[in-house]
Amino acid sequence: MNDSFVLTNACVVAPDETFMGYVAVSDGKIVEVGEGNAPEKGIDLGGDYLIPGLVELHTDHLEVHFMPRPKVEWPAGSAVLAHDAQVIGSGITTVFDALRVGNDYDEEKFGARMKKLASAIAAAKEADVTRAEHFLHLRCELGCADVVEEMEPFLTDENLKLVSVMDHTPGQRQFTDVSKWKQYYGGKKNASEAQLDATIVRRKEIHARYAEQNRADIVRRCQLAGVALASHDDATREHVEEAVRDGMHIAEFPTTIEAAEASHHAGLRVLMGAPNVVRGGSHSGNVGARDLAEAGLLDVLSSDYVPSSLLMGAFGLRDVKAVGGLAGAIRLVTLNPAEAAGLGDRGAIRHGLRADLARIRLRDRQPIIREVWREGRRVA
């Protein structure tokens, strides 16, 4: 494709409205957006939707490709490219790959493995073989003795743009109801009741010893490094007050409407999982994403563990009045996450921004990716 082209006869989803029109691209940027017929012949999209490329802030899907089976480690470079293919095929042109440090169940260390992935991402970007643009999102488990030590090597990685502080200790945040913790990890780890009970005792002891100091150390390091911070699974107003005190930018997956409301009003971007929308609720029994959308408290959607859910989730919320129609629903997965991450050069079909675009067709109300462009280059 030429460096300059025009996409015509498109249902253009702009930040605040949707209209039939055209988008002109030159040298990787949007140079003109208009309603009606384009002033010159272009690529006819046949009335399909044209939306900005999706911006994904929290997906741990890369680990599925890197560790496809227990005790199986796939070559990191291959895992990155397989993940990239699935991401771009879902319309995601900017992705924050979530890598975890610190364990939330047993004593297994992840830092060295995650550093392999970070190095593979950097190498793939340097070689220009990824189709989406990849950044790093480090997920730090507070209830772990050496989480600060494990995160340290990542702080000099230029791709690190976001750090979230998590606490999956039984009885905390997402797992205030310990029976939900048992249900989740019992199935995931195939553990017996006695093993789960022993793990609960151990995890609570570790949490009491390390979590508070770990949080303070992680926050201080991120502030010095200029890395954005996100809270995770806030459940109470006290959790939100703590997040505000620590200078958090994003509230990931609040578990109650109380915490979501407090976060939203404090200026934190409230992020929820698109699988929550698609499935009709939280797999952990917490507040539903649609409930927050209807209350006007939802700012950002994340695909979390299913890349294709991001587009499905956005289209699934276009009928929610507080969201603001299709334009508002698409903002949840484009402009809002871009702004939350400090990426002011993308996320909207607007003159001067990057030509990150996706062509979408509806089939039985299901959004189907037809074509994707990143910085004006067709990548899918």
The DSSP string of 161-203 is EEEEEE---TTSGGGSSHHHHHHHHHHHHT--HHHHHHHHHHH
What's the pLDDT score for residue 109? 67
For 313, phi then psi, to 5°, come to -65, -40
pLDDT in tens, 200-243: 777 777 777 888 899 999 999 999 999 999 999 999 999 999 99
Architecture of domain 1-52+346-380: Roll (2.30)
pLDDT in tens, 294-335: 999 999 999 999 999 999 999 999 999 999 999 999 999 999
What is d(CA 362, CA 273) in angstroms, rounded to the nearest whole number? Answer: 22
What class has domain 54-345? alpha beta
Q: Does the predicted model carry a pTM greater than 0.85?
A: yes
Query: Averaged over 65-90, what is the pLDDT?
Result: 95
Query: Averaged over 243-266, what is the pLDDT?
Result: 96
What is d(CA 305, CA 115) in angstroms, rounded to the nearest whole number? Answer: 20
Region of poorest pLDDT, from 74-83, 209-218, 259-268, 341-350: 209-218
pLDDT in tens, 2-24: 589 999 999 999 999 999 999 99
Domain ranges of the chain: 1-52+346-380, 54-345
pLDDT above 70 for 41: yes
pLDDT above 80 for 168: no
What's the pLDDT score for residue 200? 74
Q: Write the CA distances from 85 to 144, 281, 372, 379, integer angstroms.
A: 33, 28, 12, 10
Percent of the chain residues past pLDDT 90, beyond the cut: 78
Closest CA to 142 of 207, 226, 220, 239: 207
What's the pLDDT score for residue 1? 45
What's the pLDDT score for residue 301? 98
What's the pLDDT score for residue 126? 97
